[in-house]
Amino acid sequence: MAQSAISVDAHHEHQHDTFKLLGFWIFLVTDCIIFACLFAVYAVLRTHTDGDLTGRELFEVKGFTAETFILLASSFTSGLASLAMHKGSKKQLLGWLAVTVLLGLSFVGLEITEFANMASEGAKITTNGFLSSFFTLVGTHGLHVSFGLIWMIGVMVQIGRHDIDSLTKEKVTIVGLYWHFLDVVWIFIFTVVYLLGVM
């Protein structure tokens, strides 16, 4: 062995931290493909309204614009949280994470309201191919956001218990990565679904 066994082992352990991050990036690749498929399905079924209302009549500009700004803002605050973490300020970190969670919650709330309004107008998942693919694509994103909220609260509890250490740092980084990813997906939903829908 070129190096001593001790340094080889230490070298391996040190790398364990980057393993999780790399694995999570690859997971995001798979999640990206999941959304790509859902977008493709939406693109095929977009015009399959079966004689019913189209996106132009159904989508409310105010609602989806508000959702967009709120989610973009939450991505920004989650970035501020990670800056606070690198400064080592637990208070600020928890504060910005809490703001992120609140913004995320209001996003989910708005989305549920939007879906409920559509359903009350008779635009349900069962109505036609267009709406089936719309609810599946946007709903999958919404489920991701909801899952992320529970996750983020879990991470906050852990920071409260253990302060900022290498483990909680890694967790904040990964959940932040997930959150930004959802933001990017939303930008595509905003463009492909809503903007093209109302144009």
Q: Which is nearer to other proteins, 44 or 61 (CB)?
A: 44
- Asked if residue 92 binds other proteins (CB under 8 A), the reply is no
| List 85, 115, 144, 158, residue binding other proteins (CB under 8 A) | 158
3-state DSSP percent of the chain in helix, strand and coil, to 5: 85, 0, 15
80 Cβ neighbours under 8 A, 6+ residues apart: 92, 96
| List 75, 127, 138, 142, residue binding other proteins (CB under 8 A) | 127
Structure tokens at 151: 């996750």
User: Is 157 exposed, middle or buried (CB count within 10 Å of its CB: 0-12, 13-18, 19+)?
Assistant: exposed
Q: How far is the CB of 129 from other proteins (least distance, A)?
A: 3
Q: Which residues of 45-59 are buried (b: 16+ CB within 10 A; e: fewer)?
A: bbeebeeebebeebb
- Asked if residue 83 binds other proteins (CB under 8 A), the reply is no
Q: Which is nearer to other proteins, 70 or 104 (CB)?
A: 104
Footprint (CB under 8 A) of other proteins, residues 9-68? 9, 11-13, 15, 18-20, 22-23, 26-27, 29-31, 33-34, 37-38, 41, 44-45, 48-50
Nearest Cα to 179, choosing from 146, 136, 156?
146
- Asked if residue 188 binds other proteins (CB under 8 A), the reply is no
How does DSSP assign 4-40, residue by residue?
Answer: -HHHHHHHHHHHHHHHHHHHHHHHHHHHHHHHHHHHH
Q: How far is the CB of 101 from other proteins (least distance, A)?
A: 16
Residues binding other proteins (CB under 8 A): 1-6, 8-9, 11-13, 15, 18-20, 22-23, 26-27, 29-31, 33-34, 37-38, 41, 44-45, 48-50, 125-130, 132-133, 135-136, 150-151, 154-155, 157-158, 162, 167, 171
